[in-house]
């Protein structure tokens, strides 16, 4: 994962534009948000899932970079005072603190737009049908019926009962949809079989939820320094999490079950899926 993170960092550094002039802070804010931090889980998944089908590395890096831009834009907007009001992200000031709120709103907007512009480039995939398929799936995963809908549901967490069903739906929308797209993108680029695509989708959703539960456990137990962001935030804000409903111990069991289930989805793939199997284990055993 560290190797992939390094490659994605370099790719983003190369791809993200710079520009002098009065709008320069916009470009700096986009780079501030996208560079120098993050696990790069989504592009890692895109690369590893694409490798199952021998998709070219340069193409996977480009699609992974686009997906990471969408993830980063969502963090920039999520951190805004009107949303989660966070000052720290990956151990650095959030964009609205390092710049200002208006610049953070615009930098998020520009990163989202940039992601679509990246996916549509001919060097992303030679077949325009595949590029359209990637764009359609990203729009669905990131939009009102995906990630943005999940953020809305999260903001209004005080308006509904927190049950395992509502919280699972929240996570599927808020983080699951984009993680699923990150995995499926690798298969889409190879025109993988419906059976393989369905395995990737199942893997992604179980992995995503396992990751999220572990994040929430770390948020309850974690120290701020190690996390690079304010810990215990979710509890204070009364956010809807699996940990809140099941308690830490049953939540950890549930995360382990999900990780095992995620691995099970990979049974139809050969040893090229070993890193994906390892990441399912890492999802629940990590301490940051």
Rounded to a whole number of angstroms, the minimum distance from the CB of residue 26 to a copy of itself is 4
Residues in the chain, total: 288
For the stretch 86-89, contacts whose Cβ atoms lie closer than 8 Å and that sit 24 or more positions apart, written own/partner, are: 86/229, 86/230, 86/233, 87/230, 88/228, 88/229, 88/230, 89/37, 89/228, 89/229
- Torsion angle in degrees (nearest 10) through CA of 171, 172, 174, 179: 120
242/244 Cα distance (integer angstroms) = 5
Do the Cβ atoms of 43 and 65 come closer than 8 Å?
yes
What is the Cα–Cα distance from 32 to 85, expressed in whole angstroms? 18
Ranges of beta strands (E only) in 38-107 are 88-89, 92-93
Separation of alpha carbons 264 and 206, rounded Å: 10
Nearer to a copy of itself, 84 or 206 (CB): 84
Output the smallest distance, CB 284 to a copy of itself, in A: 28
Residue with smaller CB distance to a copy of itself, 57 or 83: 83
Cβ distance to a copy of itself smaller for residue 137 or 229: 137
Decide whether 2 or 159 has the Cβ nearer to a copy of itself: 159
User: Whole-number minimum distance, CB 67 to a copy of itself, in Å?
Assistant: 13
Minimal distance, residue 116 CB to a copy of itself, in Å: 5
Residues engaged in binding a copy of itself (CB under 8 A): 17, 19, 21-23, 25-27, 30, 73, 77, 80, 82-83, 100-103, 105-106, 108-110, 112-114, 116-117, 120-121, 128-129, 131-132, 135-136, 138-140, 142-145, 148-153, 155-157, 159-160, 166, 173
Question: Rounded to the nearest whole angstrom, what is the least distance from the CB of residue 10 to a copy of itself in the complex?
Answer: 20
Q: Judged by CB, which is closer to a copy of itself: 121, or 257? A: 121
């Amino acid at each position: 994962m560290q190797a992939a993170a390094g490659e994605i960092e370099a790719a983003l550094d190369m791809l993200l534009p710079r520009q002098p002039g009065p709008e320069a802070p916009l470009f700096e804010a986009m780079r501030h948000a996208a560079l120098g931090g993050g696990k790069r889980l989504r592009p890692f998944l895109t690369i590893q899932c694409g490798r199952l089908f021998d998709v070219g590395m340069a193409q996977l890096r480009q699609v992974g970079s686009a997906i990471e831009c969408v993830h980063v834009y969502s963090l920039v907007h999520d951190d805004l005072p009107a949303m989660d009001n966070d000052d720290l992200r990956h151990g650095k000031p959030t964009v609205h603190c390092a710049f200002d709120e208006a610049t953070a709103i615009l930098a998020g907007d520009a990163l989202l737009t940039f992601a679509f512009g990246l996916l549509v480039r001919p060097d992303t995939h030679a077949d325009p049908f595949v590029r359209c398929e990637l764009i359609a799936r990203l729009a669905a995963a990131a939009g009102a019926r995906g990630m943005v809908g999940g953020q809305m549901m999260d903001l209004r967490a005080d308006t509904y009962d927190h049950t395992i069903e509502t919280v699972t739906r929240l996570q599927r929308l808020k983080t699951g949809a984009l993680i699923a797209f990150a995995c499926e993108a690798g298969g889409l680029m190879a025109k993988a079989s419906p059976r393989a695509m369905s395995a990737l989708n199942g893997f992604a959703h179980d992995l995503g939820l396992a990751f999220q539960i572990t994040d929430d456990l770390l948020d309850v137990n974690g120290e701020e320094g190690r996390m690079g962001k304010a810990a215990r935030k979710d509890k204070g804000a009364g956010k809807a999490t699996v940990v809140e409903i099941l308690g830490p111990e049953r939540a950890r069991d549930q995360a382990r079950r999900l990780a095992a289930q995620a691995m099970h989805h990979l049974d139809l793939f050969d040893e090229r899926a070993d890193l994906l199997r390892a990441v399912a284990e890492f999802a629940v055993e990590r301490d940051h």
